[in-house]
Amino acid sequence: MAYKKRTNRRDFFQDVSAGAAGMAFASVLSTLNAAASPQKPTYESFDMSKLANAVREPNVVEFKPWKSMHASITSPMITAWGAKDIPGSKLAIGFAYIERPETLGGATHSHEHDQWIFLIGGNSKNFLDFDADAEMLLGDRVRKINYPCYFYIPKNTPHCPLVVKRIGKPIVFIDARTD
């Protein structure tokens, strides 16, 4: 059987649930995620393959906005898609404006690439004007923050969910990775 690269959560759960043990494992993950996230996004119905920016000229890309899978993120999001936008580009980075509490990032997982999650003030000209409480599992423990910061997530490090518990002023969420 040829190897098929899996790129979304639906494919992952289809593979995992192929056997009885897999179905039990998927059920446990589903239950844990439902308990952790009352505003659970529907990852299975979110098709990122149709999202694209517009290449205007070599190395100049116009952002095309897209709607978040999270109900609390109502402002349009923008993302640089790395090599999907410009062949050879290694940076993928997305920006979202968060105005109310939310659980982001899905269940605990890891990646084969480094990742950075930035949380900064988004309600003034000062990125350090931060009024929110959040926490995220990073490695072996939950990290709690109430200040502007970024989380560096080395490849293969378990992380998420990111739980934004309180928002006094809107914040900007930035998710970046390199291939």
Domain that holds residue 145: 51-178
Residue 41 maps to a domain: no
The yes-or-no verdict on residue 64 having pLDDT over 90 is no
Residue 45 maps to a domain: no
CATH code for the domain in which residue 115 is found: 2.60.120.10
pTM flag (> 0.75)? no
Query: How many domains would you assign to the chain?
Result: 2
The yes-or-no verdict on residue 28 having pLDDT over 60 is no
Do 96 and 26 lie in one domain? The reply is no
Q: Return the pLDDT at 65.
A: 84
Q: Return the pLDDT at 165.
A: 97
Do 104 and 147 lie in one domain? The reply is yes
Do 86 and 141 lie in one domain? The reply is yes
Share of the chain above pLDDT 90, in %: 43
Do 62 and 101 lie in one domain? The reply is yes
CB 139 within 8 A of CB 128: no
The yes-or-no verdict on residue 38 having pLDDT over 60 is no
- Rounded mean pLDDT of the chain? 77
Q: Return the pLDDT at 46.
A: 53
Count of Cβ atoms closer than 10 Å to residue 54 Cβ? 10
Exposure b/e, 107-146, CB count within 10 A at least 16 = b: eeeeeeeebebbbbbbbeeeeeebebebebbbeeeeeeee
